Amino acid sequence: MPSSAYRLVAIVAITLAAPVAAQTSPSITGTWKGDVASAKLPTKPDIFAIKDGRYTCASCTPPIAVTADGSAQAVAGHDYWDHLTVRIVDPLTVAYTYARGGKTVSTSTDTVSADGKTLTTSWRSTDNAKGIEQSGTSTETRIGPVPAGAHAVSGSWQRAEIKQVSDSSLYMTFKDAGGALAFSQPSGETYTAKFGGPAAPIVGDPAGTVVKVRRVGARTIEETDLRGGKVVSVYTMTLAPDGKTMTVVTEDRKAGTKTQFVAYRQ
């Protein structure tokens, strides 16, 4: 699944799969929408700082350390971008630009409240198969003080709430394709993977993610995403008995975090 340091998003640009269950179970075929209000966010804190002209992110995977002077800095080890620009806007605001292959793919802005207790992150991205603009806003609560001499955004933060995410990131369509699961999103990403079969590519994913799907129970399926042969995330989807909702638990194996939300049949 597409991800980056600003995205909570992890949280919100979502790749799902769901079961084609026994005859007595409801069908997953149809269109669903993730509900951001239902999200249970990771408990692992975000830890970053801007101090002495440097931006460091200890909680990023892998950690980041670059010059915060408004120029593009090479960053290795991140799946969807290879350069990061960090620009101090004012005493309470910092802007970030993410690029891949010399092209900007997303931007974000961190703004600290006047009392220093809340961090609001707003992001925009065109890094999807159709190149459409997607956006989102989320908040975090301070759990660690600002280091001496650092910018106000610095410190330890606990993710609190997703305020908004573009519908094109939240809608998803599934189809039981005779022993395989077909998936698509409005932003253009698609896959068709056989249950219990080999990994299938996510078409339109710039990081080359492939997917394996398997049934875990009558109403539950597990999706495993891999890049370079390594597991990067696991999704467990459980359809409600009435077929109207689906609970999704997302494990980010690289970051060591877990997110849960509910999707509603449309």
Segment 12-17 shows an average pLDDT of: 35
CB atoms within 10 A of CB 258: 15
Q: Is 89 found in the same domain as 14?
A: no
| pTM score, whole prediction | 0.89
Q: Is 248 found in the same domain as 152?
A: no
How many domains are contained in the chain?
Answer: 2
Q: Is 248 found in the same domain as 215?
A: yes
- Tell me which of 164, 188, 209 is where a domain ends: 164
- Chain-centroid distance, C-alpha 185: 14
Q: Is 59 found in the same domain as 32?
A: no
Q: Is 183 found in the same domain as 83?
A: no
What is the rounded CA–CA span in Å between residue 139 and residue 154? Answer: 15
What is the rounded CA–CA span in Å between residue 158 and residue 206? Answer: 30
Preceding amide of 2 cis, omega within 30: no
Identify whether 31 is part of a domain. yes
Distance (Å) of CA 65 to CA 13, 111, 155, 252, 257: 25, 20, 15, 22, 21
What are the contacts of 61-64 at 24+ separation with CB within 8 A? 61/254, 61/255, 61/256, 64/5
Higher pLDDT, 4 or 81: 81
| Residue 16 pLDDT | 34
Identify whether 50 is part of a domain. yes
Q: Is 108 found in the same domain as 89?
A: yes
Distance (Å) of CA 13 to CA 7, 70, 205: 8, 27, 12
What is the rounded CA–CA span in Å between residue 7 and residue 142? Answer: 18
Identify whether 61 is part of a domain. yes
**Model pLDDT for residues 170-210, shown as the tens digit of each residue:** 999 998 777 999 999 999 999 999 999 999 999 999 999 99
**Model pLDDT for residues 145-176, shown as the tens digit of each residue:** 999 999 999 999 999 999 999 999 999 999 87
Q: Is 135 found in the same domain as 70?
A: yes
How far apart, in Å, do the first and last CA atoms of the chain sit? 23
Q: Is 53 found in the same domain as 36?
A: no
Q: How many residues does the chain have?
A: 266
| Residue 203 pLDDT | 98
Structural domain including 122 reads 46-164
Do residues 259 and 9 make contact, with C-beta atoms less than 8 angstroms apart? Answer: no
What is the rounded CA–CA span in Å between residue 1 and residue 251? Answer: 11
| Residue 5 pLDDT | 36
Q: Mean pLDDT across the chain, nearest whole number?
A: 91
- Tell me which of 139, 164, 189 is where a domain ends: 164
Structure tokens at 65: 């350390």
What are the contacts of 158-161 at 24+ separation with CB within 8 A? 158/43, 158/45, 158/46, 159/8, 159/41, 159/42, 159/46, 160/41, 160/118, 161/41
Q: What is the CATH number of the domain that holds 242?
A: 2.40.128.20
Identify whether 3 is part of a domain. no
Cα atoms found within 13 Å of the Cα of residue 13, Cβ hemisphere only: 27
Q: Is 56 found in the same domain as 111?
A: yes
**Model pLDDT for residues 199-255, shown as the tens digit of each residue:** 999 999 999 999 999 999 889 889 999 999 999 999 999 999 999 999 999 999 999
Identify whether 173 is part of a domain. yes
| Residue 24 pLDDT | 55
For the cut 60, the answer to whether the pLDDT of residue 6 exceeds it is: no
User: Which residue in this structure is represented by tokens 């120029």?
Assistant: 71
Q: Which of 173, 207, 170 is nearest to 192 (CA)?
A: 173
Q: Is 148 found in the same domain as 178?
A: no
Q: Is 101 found in the same domain as 206?
A: no
